[in-house]
């Protein structure tokens, strides 16, 4: 049993951040899609099953919070990790109201990213079925 085969979506307007996260997570055996904007992210989520989203809080045009609101309409239980280079408490508070419980401050440690992503993803059996917790 492992977490390989999970589909992740990285949403950030900075190409360097997308590339860094892509390489770090693909090395862990995960399938990673990239989106440079909110509309692109929503389009990808509507077309493909996504297990977890890493979402930048501040992007031009459609902000991370705007994307988050739309994500919650599509899939209220989808795990989201917000990423920010800013410490704005009002944005963090709004994200918490939208169900976000995990944040990464830029610049982030890749080990921390890998750990958090793995902690939020359910384990899969080799047949691709989700395990149910007994107890």
pLDDT in tens, 62-81: 999 999 999 999 999 999 99
> Per mean pLDDT, which range of 12-21, 46-55, 68-77, 83-92 is the poorest?
83-92
For residue 72, the SS3 value is helix
Q: What is the CATH number of domain 7-20+42-118?
A: 3.40.50.2300
DSSP 48-71: S--SEEEEES--SSS-HHHHHHHH
What pTM did the predictor assign?
0.84
The runs of H, that is alpha helices, within the chain are 15-26, 38-47, 64-74, 89-97, 110-120
pLDDT digits (tens, 9 = 90+) for 95-124: 888 888 888 888 889 999 999 999 998 764
User: Cβ contacts of residue 118 below 8 Å, gap of 6+?
Assistant: 3, 28
pLDDT at 133 over 60: no
**Band (4; pLDDT cuts 50, 70, 90):** low
Judge residue 135's burial from the number of C-beta atoms within 10 Å of its C-beta, 0-12 exposed, 13-18 middle, 19 or more buried.
exposed
pLDDT in tens, 18-32: 999 999 999 999 999
């Amino acid at each position: 049993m492992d977490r390989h085969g999970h589909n992740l979506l990285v949403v950030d307007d900075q190409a360097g951040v997308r590339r860094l996260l892509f390489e770090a997570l693909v090395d862990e055996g995960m399938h990673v899609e990239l989106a440079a904007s909110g509309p692109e992210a929503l389009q990808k989520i509507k077309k493909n099953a996504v297990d977890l989203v890493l979402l930048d809080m501040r992007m031009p045009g459609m902000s991370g919070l705007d994307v988050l609101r739309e994500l919650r309409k599509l899939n209220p239980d989808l795990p989201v990790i917000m990423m920010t280079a800013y410490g704005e408490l009002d944005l963090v508070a709004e994200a918490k109201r939208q169900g976000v419980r995990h944040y990464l401050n830029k610049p982030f440690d890749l080990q921390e990213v890998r750990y958090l992503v793995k902690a939020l993803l359910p384990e899969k059996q080799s047949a691709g079925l989700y395990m149910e917790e007994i107890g």
